[in-house]
Structure 1
Amino acid sequence: MAHLNRRTANYFPSHINPDKLPANVGYDPRGKGRWYYRKGSGRANRGKALRFGNSKTTLAEIWTHIEQIQTDSIDTFRGISLKFQDSRDWAILAPRTQKNYQKLHSSICGYELQSGGQLGDAPLDAWTPGGVRRYLEKRASISESSAAAEVRYIKRIFSWAISMDYYLSANPAKEIKLTRLSAPRTHYTQDIDYNLAIAVAPLIVGLAAHLAYLTGRRRTDLLNLRRTQLADDGIEFEESKTGKLTVVAWSNELRAVVELLKSEAGNSMYLFPRRGSPNEPMTDSAFDTAWQRVRAAVKKAGGTPCQFKDIRAKHASDLETEEDASASLRHSGRSVTRRHYRRRPTKVVSLR
């Protein structure tokens, strides 16, 4: 849009007195005419133009529109993040994604500033690319993966707010490059360490680990496994992260594991029921605690402990081909499988 002087009367419809317009309202006379509003003034602060009305819009309608915009405005990151969590875009997200976003929201909003306040309550006008970059670097000194996830959430929230006209400036996280903060995890769980973990684990925890190895499913999808998912042709999994439906075909070993789980679960609808509450699945935190004990026992026995998610990588690594692994994990492309899950060392032959 060409720069227009909104106070030059020649530009405006004859029924509008420009001196009575709200602040930061301008008019573009081209075509049928269009009013626009910018939050703030000056080239650095005026941000995105919010367009409305036409040449026939009255002064009263302009004031009503601007007052509504200012009433609906949200001035903090906490505000726009909560607004996002009350939107249709939020409602269609997978439950696991919603849970992860709520954790990111709490971490970002609760970050203590040097001024003594919290980042979530800082004015939106105070957010800059440099500030987001400094936040990324400080958080990365504690956890690089968490820092990257938080900045991705910041970027998404500002993008959503801009698309809904809740925020009329540039996205301060848009230009932040989330290049590799740390190398992908490369640990491959050797058979001897995997078998040791199964041996020292309580029965239910060991069965969960072996089910993860046989199926390649995520922990959350295993802990929420119901009897109704046991079909004639295999186990039906609707992945919590992607919503994709996967059927893992039966094998003799898989059937044996499931039969043991059904026996241990009693009358519960879940194969991993919560202790004391059989109509609820085991919680992630309860399983995490149990797996930490397994890791400690493996280390005490002289083995190399693994994270539970390493078992999914072992599943992918032990399959014959990269194509098989990518298909089993339901990845849209092989690059993710290759970078994060195919961890078995490559064998090559010597030159002579």
Structure 2
Amino acid sequence: MSEVGIPRVYWKSGAWRYKCNARQKALVGKSWIRLGETVEDARAEYNAWAPRLFPKAGMGRLFDKYEAEIIPAKPSPATRKSNLDELKRLRLVFAECEPEDITVHDVYRYMDARGAQSKTQANHELSLLKHIFRFAQRWGVLEHNPADPVAKFKLKPRDRYVTDAEFARFLRFTSPWVRRYALLKYKTGLRQKDLLGLRLDQLGPDGILLRTSKVGKQAVIAWDDELGKLVDEIKADNLSRGRQGPTLFCKRDGMPYNKDQFHSRWQYGMKKAMTEGMIERFTEHDLRAKHATDAERQGIDVQTNLQHSDRRTTEIYLRAKQVLKVSALGADAFIVE
């Protein structure tokens, strides 16, 4: 944020200027708005433009302000993208409402309707709506947050655990590319985004250097013989198919995989293993859960391995995946020969 104290305001061509987003550009017909040469002039001119930049008087204007000022400041690109998608859903229902007219009942009705389609997405959208209303309180728009009392849906945690026998059979029958990816996923426990974005310059002498996409913490995965050999195999495969790009996993042209391209490769490998190996389907994310569960059984600090900032997040991976061992009682005293 500039010294003017307003998001999207920059010093450009000898003056403070406001950079319009796509919505604002369509409204005012400009990409940049000249605000003035001094901080005081810039703030005054911005306030004069505000009604045109944020034309809706109710929730629409509140959504516009949140989109322009708050979402861009969030550190994670994935969070910013998901927030924009969630905001589109909220706009469809609440954009023409006045903030003070929205009740707890209105929010519950929204949750019921969205929950019928996806309880998970409904929970995400509720979280965003609560956050928007908290900023509305901060900005003096509202005294009370009508979304605060609304409870999220309780979701049943996924309890699919990929057994060692299943995983071994999967590795035997899947495609070579998926086999190498799955092994690296299991060994490191990394998120899909971090694995696909893993760059060659992160492969240091002591191990794989990380700054995870979600929490941004630095970490090092130390080399062992298996890990080093696996990384070498992946690089050799890249060169045999085309060229090696800046990321460890790359396409024939050296470019990184995007989410959809990876999904196609994973599904091909999974279908091959299901058909030829007669295994039950599991998701790529289930391998992160297997890593967590197996690590805990080996006495490894799972929260550190998964790079979670909150132990409760780690428990989601473990709680439903642990298989209880029940001991049978001795019955010798009751058996008559």
Aligned with 1:95 (options 77, 87, 103) = 77
Count of residues paired in the alignment? 275
Larger gyration radius, structure 1 or structure 2 = 1
The 2-side partners of 1:225 and 1:192 are apart by 29
Q: Which moved more, 1:228-237 or 1:88-97?
A: 88-97
199 and 67 in structure 1: CA distance in 2 versus 1, 3 angstrom threshold: same
Tell me which residue corresponds to 1:149.
124
Is 2:199–2:248's contact at 8 Å kept on the other side of the alignment? yes
Shift of 1:187: 0.6
The 2-side partners of 1:204 and 1:81 are apart by 44
Tell me which residue corresponds to 1:5.
none
Question: What amino acid does structure 2 have at the position aligned with 1:168?
Answer: L
Tell me which residue corresponds to 2:152.
178
The 1-side partners of 2:309 and 2:259 are apart by 27
RMSD: 2.6
Shift of 1:350: 2.9
Aligned with 1:84 (options 61, 66, 75) = 66
1:96-111 matches, within 5 Å, as 96-109=78-91
The 2-side partners of 1:153 and 1:311 are apart by 29
The 2-side partners of 1:155 and 1:273 are apart by 40
Is 2:178–2:265's contact at 8 Å kept on the other side of the alignment? yes
Is 1:294 aligned to residue 294 of structure 2?
no
Question: What amino acid does structure 1 have at the position aligned with 2:316?
Answer: R
Residue by residue over 1:290-335, the C-alpha shift from the partner in whole angstroms, topping out at 9 and shown as x without a partner, is 2223333333342111111000000011113576212211223433
The 2-side partners of 1:69 and 1:194 are apart by 58
Aligned with 1:324 (options 282, 301, 305) = 301
Tell me which residue corresponds to 1:7.
none
Q: Say which structure is richer in helix.
A: 2
Question: What amino acid does structure 1 have at the position aligned with 2:108?
Answer: R
What SS does structure 2 have at the residue aligned with 1:331?
A: coil
Shift of 1:249: 1.0
Tell me which residue corresponds to 1:232.
205
Aligned with 2:168 (options 195, 198, 206) = 195
Question: What amino acid does structure 2 have at the position aligned with 1:335?
Answer: R
The 2-side partners of 1:173 and 1:231 are apart by 47
Question: TM-score, normalised on structure 1?
Answer: 0.70
User: Which consecutive residues of structure 1, in runs of 5 or more, have no partner in the other structure?
Assistant: 1-65, 110-117
Tell me which residue corresponds to 1:339.
316
123 and 297 in structure 1: CA distance in 2 versus 1, 3 angstrom threshold: same
1:248-259 matches, within 5 Å, as 248-259=221-232
Question: What amino acid does structure 1 have at the position aligned with 2:325?
Answer: K
Q: Which moved more, 1:243-252 or 1:297-306?
A: 297-306
Question: TM-score, normalised on structure 2?
Answer: 0.73
The 1-side partners of 2:272 and 2:230 are apart by 23
Q: Which moved more, 1:94-103 or 1:311-320?
A: 94-103
The sequence identity of aligned pairs, in percent, is: 28
The 1-side partners of 2:306 and 2:208 are apart by 14
The 2-side partners of 1:81 and 1:221 are apart by 31
What SS does structure 2 have at the residue aligned with 1:85?
A: helix
User: Which consecutive residues of structure 2, in runs of 5 or more, have no partner in the other structure?
Assistant: 1-46, 331-337
